[in-house]
Amino acid sequence: MKAVIQYVLVGLMCLAASNVRAVEKITIQLDFTPDIEDGKTTFSVCARCHLPEAWGNADGTYPQLAGQHINVLMKQLLDIRNGTRQSSLMFPFVQQRTIGGYQELSNVVAYISTLPMNPDHAKGPWKEGTAEYNQGESIYQKNCSNCHGDNGEGNNERGYPKLQGQNFQYMSRQLGQIKSGLRVVHPAMQAVIQNLEFEQLDQAVNYASYFAVPKEDMAPSKTWRNPDFK
Protein backbone atom coordinates (compact mmCIF):
# COMPACT_ATOMS: atom_id res chain seq x y z
CA MET A 1 0.00 0.00 0.00
CA LYS A 2 1.22 3.44 -0.82
CA ALA A 3 0.05 6.75 0.51
CA VAL A 4 0.49 9.55 -1.93
CA ILE A 5 0.66 13.07 -0.69
CA GLN A 6 0.10 15.72 -3.22
CA TYR A 7 0.15 19.29 -2.28
CA VAL A 8 0.20 22.54 -4.05
CA LEU A 9 2.48 25.41 -3.31
CA VAL A 10 1.43 28.81 -4.38
CA GLY A 11 4.66 30.68 -4.83
CA LEU A 12 4.58 34.41 -4.64
CA MET A 13 7.32 35.95 -6.72
CA CYS A 14 8.04 39.58 -6.22
CA LEU A 15 9.90 41.13 -9.08
CA ALA A 16 12.26 43.65 -7.63
CA ALA A 17 12.19 46.15 -10.44
CA SER A 18 8.46 46.56 -10.69
CA ASN A 19 5.32 46.10 -8.69
CA VAL A 20 4.26 43.22 -10.88
CA ARG A 21 3.68 40.10 -8.83
CA ALA A 22 3.46 36.78 -10.60
CA VAL A 23 1.74 33.93 -8.80
CA GLU A 24 2.98 30.49 -9.66
CA LYS A 25 1.53 27.16 -8.76
CA ILE A 26 3.92 24.35 -7.94
CA THR A 27 2.64 20.82 -7.45
CA ILE A 28 4.83 18.36 -5.60
CA GLN A 29 4.04 14.69 -5.32
CA LEU A 30 5.67 12.63 -2.62
CA ASP A 31 5.38 8.87 -2.22
CA PHE A 32 5.50 7.07 1.11
CA THR A 33 5.29 3.40 1.99
CA PRO A 34 3.31 3.24 5.21
CA ASP A 35 4.53 1.35 8.23
CA ILE A 36 1.35 -0.13 9.70
CA GLU A 37 2.99 -1.13 12.99
CA ASP A 38 4.15 2.41 13.60
CA GLY A 39 0.71 3.64 12.57
CA LYS A 40 -0.79 1.43 15.26
CA THR A 41 1.42 3.04 17.91
CA THR A 42 0.43 6.51 16.71
CA PHE A 43 -3.22 5.50 16.62
CA SER A 44 -3.06 4.64 20.33
CA VAL A 45 -3.03 8.42 20.89
CA CYS A 46 -5.97 8.99 18.52
CA ALA A 47 -7.88 6.13 20.11
CA ARG A 48 -8.17 7.96 23.40
CA CYS A 49 -10.91 10.07 21.84
CA HIS A 50 -11.78 8.27 18.62
CA LEU A 51 -11.78 4.92 20.48
CA PRO A 52 -9.87 1.82 19.29
CA GLU A 53 -12.52 0.89 16.70
CA ALA A 54 -12.68 4.45 15.22
CA TRP A 55 -16.41 4.04 14.70
CA GLY A 56 -17.43 7.50 15.91
CA ASN A 57 -20.56 7.99 17.96
CA ALA A 58 -24.26 8.36 17.39
CA ASP A 59 -24.55 12.02 18.38
CA GLY A 60 -21.99 13.02 15.80
CA THR A 61 -19.24 14.32 18.07
CA TYR A 62 -16.83 11.92 16.35
CA PRO A 63 -17.05 10.60 12.79
CA GLN A 64 -16.58 7.00 11.73
CA LEU A 65 -12.97 6.92 10.50
CA ALA A 66 -12.76 3.18 9.97
CA GLY A 67 -12.95 2.25 6.31
CA GLN A 68 -12.53 5.83 5.08
CA HIS A 69 -10.31 6.38 2.03
CA ILE A 70 -6.71 7.12 2.95
CA ASN A 71 -6.50 10.22 0.78
CA VAL A 72 -9.57 11.63 2.51
CA LEU A 73 -8.12 10.96 5.95
CA MET A 74 -4.81 12.46 4.87
CA LYS A 75 -6.44 15.59 3.49
CA GLN A 76 -8.36 16.13 6.73
CA LEU A 77 -5.21 15.73 8.83
CA LEU A 78 -3.32 18.20 6.67
CA ASP A 79 -6.24 20.64 6.60
CA ILE A 80 -6.47 20.54 10.39
CA ARG A 81 -2.69 20.82 10.70
CA ASN A 82 -2.57 24.03 8.66
CA GLY A 83 -5.79 25.48 10.07
CA THR A 84 -7.90 25.20 6.89
CA ARG A 85 -10.25 22.92 8.79
CA GLN A 86 -10.78 24.47 12.19
CA SER A 87 -10.59 21.98 15.01
CA SER A 88 -8.98 23.45 18.07
CA LEU A 89 -8.94 20.17 19.92
CA MET A 90 -7.40 18.18 17.05
CA PHE A 91 -4.90 20.88 16.09
CA PRO A 92 -2.11 20.08 18.57
CA PHE A 93 -2.42 16.35 17.91
CA VAL A 94 -1.53 16.64 14.22
CA GLN A 95 1.46 18.97 14.34
CA GLN A 96 4.96 17.97 13.23
CA ARG A 97 6.15 18.26 16.84
CA THR A 98 3.51 15.80 18.11
CA ILE A 99 2.56 13.29 15.43
CA GLY A 100 5.61 13.76 13.19
CA GLY A 101 6.02 14.26 9.45
CA TYR A 102 4.27 12.96 6.34
CA GLN A 103 5.67 9.48 6.93
CA GLU A 104 3.97 9.25 10.33
CA LEU A 105 0.74 10.67 8.94
CA SER A 106 0.86 8.06 6.19
CA ASN A 107 1.43 5.33 8.74
CA VAL A 108 -1.57 6.26 10.85
CA VAL A 109 -4.02 6.75 7.97
CA ALA A 110 -2.92 3.43 6.54
CA TYR A 111 -3.55 1.78 9.89
CA ILE A 112 -7.02 3.37 10.18
CA SER A 113 -7.90 2.20 6.69
CA THR A 114 -7.35 -1.41 7.79
CA LEU A 115 -9.99 -1.19 10.53
CA PRO A 116 -13.35 -2.86 9.84
CA MET A 117 -16.43 -0.63 9.90
CA ASN A 118 -19.27 -0.47 12.40
CA PRO A 119 -22.02 -2.88 11.32
CA ASP A 120 -24.55 -0.77 13.19
CA HIS A 121 -23.73 2.89 12.58
CA ALA A 122 -26.22 5.64 13.49
CA LYS A 123 -28.78 6.24 10.76
CA GLY A 124 -31.13 9.13 10.14
CA PRO A 125 -34.69 9.37 11.49
CA TRP A 126 -36.52 8.71 8.17
CA LYS A 127 -36.63 5.09 7.07
CA GLU A 128 -37.04 3.79 3.54
CA GLY A 129 -40.53 4.45 2.27
CA THR A 130 -41.04 7.75 4.09
CA ALA A 131 -41.54 10.94 2.11
CA GLU A 132 -38.39 12.47 3.60
CA TYR A 133 -36.31 9.43 2.61
CA ASN A 134 -37.56 9.71 -0.97
CA GLN A 135 -36.94 13.45 -1.00
CA GLY A 136 -33.44 12.80 0.27
CA GLU A 137 -32.83 10.21 -2.43
CA SER A 138 -33.70 12.61 -5.22
CA ILE A 139 -31.70 15.47 -3.66
CA TYR A 140 -28.73 13.14 -3.26
CA GLN A 141 -28.87 11.74 -6.77
CA LYS A 142 -29.16 15.21 -8.24
CA ASN A 143 -26.53 17.02 -6.15
CA CYS A 144 -24.18 14.57 -4.46
CA SER A 145 -23.83 11.32 -6.41
CA ASN A 146 -21.57 12.72 -9.10
CA CYS A 147 -18.70 12.96 -6.65
CA HIS A 148 -19.69 10.77 -3.69
CA GLY A 149 -21.02 7.96 -5.91
CA ASP A 150 -24.44 6.39 -6.37
CA ASN A 151 -23.87 4.27 -3.27
CA GLY A 152 -21.83 6.74 -1.25
CA GLU A 153 -18.61 4.91 -2.02
CA GLY A 154 -16.61 8.13 -2.55
CA ASN A 155 -13.38 8.18 -4.52
CA ASN A 156 -9.94 7.67 -3.07
CA GLU A 157 -8.05 8.92 -6.12
CA ARG A 158 -9.92 12.20 -6.12
CA GLY A 159 -10.16 12.44 -2.34
CA TYR A 160 -13.97 12.37 -2.17
CA PRO A 161 -15.12 11.01 1.20
CA LYS A 162 -16.89 7.69 1.46
CA LEU A 163 -20.32 8.28 3.02
CA GLN A 164 -21.19 4.63 3.58
CA GLY A 165 -21.29 3.94 7.30
CA GLN A 166 -20.99 7.58 8.32
CA ASN A 167 -23.14 8.54 11.30
CA PHE A 168 -26.16 10.65 10.38
CA GLN A 169 -25.64 13.30 13.05
CA TYR A 170 -22.03 13.80 12.05
CA MET A 171 -22.91 14.43 8.40
CA SER A 172 -25.82 16.66 9.39
CA ARG A 173 -23.68 18.81 11.66
CA GLN A 174 -20.84 19.09 9.15
CA LEU A 175 -23.18 20.26 6.40
CA GLY A 176 -24.78 22.71 8.83
CA GLN A 177 -21.34 24.09 9.69
CA ILE A 178 -20.37 24.38 6.04
CA LYS A 179 -23.62 26.16 5.22
CA SER A 180 -23.12 28.56 8.16
CA GLY A 181 -19.57 29.29 7.04
CA LEU A 182 -17.96 27.58 10.03
CA ARG A 183 -16.21 24.94 7.94
CA VAL A 184 -14.39 25.64 4.70
CA VAL A 185 -14.52 22.97 1.99
CA HIS A 186 -13.95 22.61 -1.75
CA PRO A 187 -15.75 25.42 -3.63
CA ALA A 188 -17.85 22.93 -5.60
CA MET A 189 -19.10 21.33 -2.41
CA GLN A 190 -19.62 24.78 -0.89
CA ALA A 191 -21.76 25.85 -3.88
CA VAL A 192 -23.96 22.75 -3.75
CA ILE A 193 -24.62 23.26 -0.05
CA GLN A 194 -25.45 26.94 -0.41
CA ASN A 195 -28.15 26.02 -2.92
CA LEU A 196 -29.92 23.66 -0.55
CA GLU A 197 -31.97 24.40 2.56
CA PHE A 198 -31.01 22.94 5.95
CA GLU A 199 -34.00 20.63 5.73
CA GLN A 200 -32.96 19.34 2.32
CA LEU A 201 -29.41 18.76 3.55
CA ASP A 202 -30.75 16.66 6.41
CA GLN A 203 -32.89 14.65 4.02
CA ALA A 204 -29.91 14.03 1.74
CA VAL A 205 -27.65 12.80 4.55
CA ASN A 206 -30.54 10.79 5.96
CA TYR A 207 -30.62 8.95 2.64
CA ALA A 208 -26.81 8.63 2.65
CA SER A 209 -26.85 7.16 6.14
CA TYR A 210 -28.82 4.16 4.80
CA PHE A 211 -26.22 3.17 2.17
CA ALA A 212 -25.23 -0.44 2.64
CA VAL A 213 -21.70 -0.98 3.90
CA PRO A 214 -20.09 -3.79 1.85
CA LYS A 215 -19.97 -6.93 3.96
CA GLU A 216 -16.24 -7.40 3.49
CA ASP A 217 -15.61 -3.94 5.01
CA MET A 218 -17.71 -4.59 8.10
CA ALA A 219 -16.74 -5.92 11.52
CA PRO A 220 -18.36 -9.30 12.31
CA SER A 221 -20.60 -7.78 15.00
CA LYS A 222 -21.26 -4.53 16.76
CA THR A 223 -19.59 -5.93 19.87
CA TRP A 224 -16.32 -6.48 17.98
CA ARG A 225 -13.41 -4.81 19.75
CA ASN A 226 -10.10 -3.90 18.17
CA PRO A 227 -7.71 -6.66 19.34
CA ASP A 228 -4.72 -4.31 18.96
CA PHE A 229 -5.87 -2.38 22.03
CA LYS A 230 -6.99 -5.09 24.41
Number of neighbours of residue 39 by Cβ within 10 angstroms: 22
90 binds other proteins (CB under 8 A): yes
Interatomic CA distance for residues 63 and 69, integer angstroms: 13
* Burial label, 157 (beta-carbon count in 10 A; 0-12, 13-18, 19+): exposed
Half-sphere exposure of 143 (CA within 13 A, CB side): 23
195 binds other proteins (CB under 8 A): no
Total residues at the site for other proteins (CB under 8 A)? Answer: 20
Using CB under 8 A as the binding rule, the residues of this chain from 45 to 64 that contact other proteins are 45, 47-49, 51, 57, 59-61
Interatomic CA distance for residues 173 and 123, integer angstroms: 14
Q: Which is nearer to other proteins, 49 or 212 (CB)?
A: 49
> Smallest gap, in angstroms, from Cβ of residue 183 to other proteins?
12
Strands annotated E in the chain: 3-14, 21-32
> Smallest gap, in angstroms, from Cβ of residue 57 to other proteins?
6
Q: Which is nearer to other proteins, 88 or 195 (CB)?
A: 88
- Residue in 89, 215, 221, 223 binding other proteins, rule: CB under 8 A: 89
- DSSP-assigned letters across all residues of 13-51: EEPTTSS-EEEEEEEEEEEE---HHHHHHHHHHHHHHH-
182 binds other proteins (CB under 8 A): yes
> Smallest gap, in angstroms, from Cβ of residue 169 to other proteins?
8
> Smallest gap, in angstroms, from Cβ of residue 100 to other proteins?
11
How do strand 3-14 and strand 21-32 relate by DSSP bridges?
A: antiparallel
Contact residues toward other proteins (CB under 8 A) are 41, 44-45, 47-49, 51, 57, 59-61, 88-93, 98, 182, 229
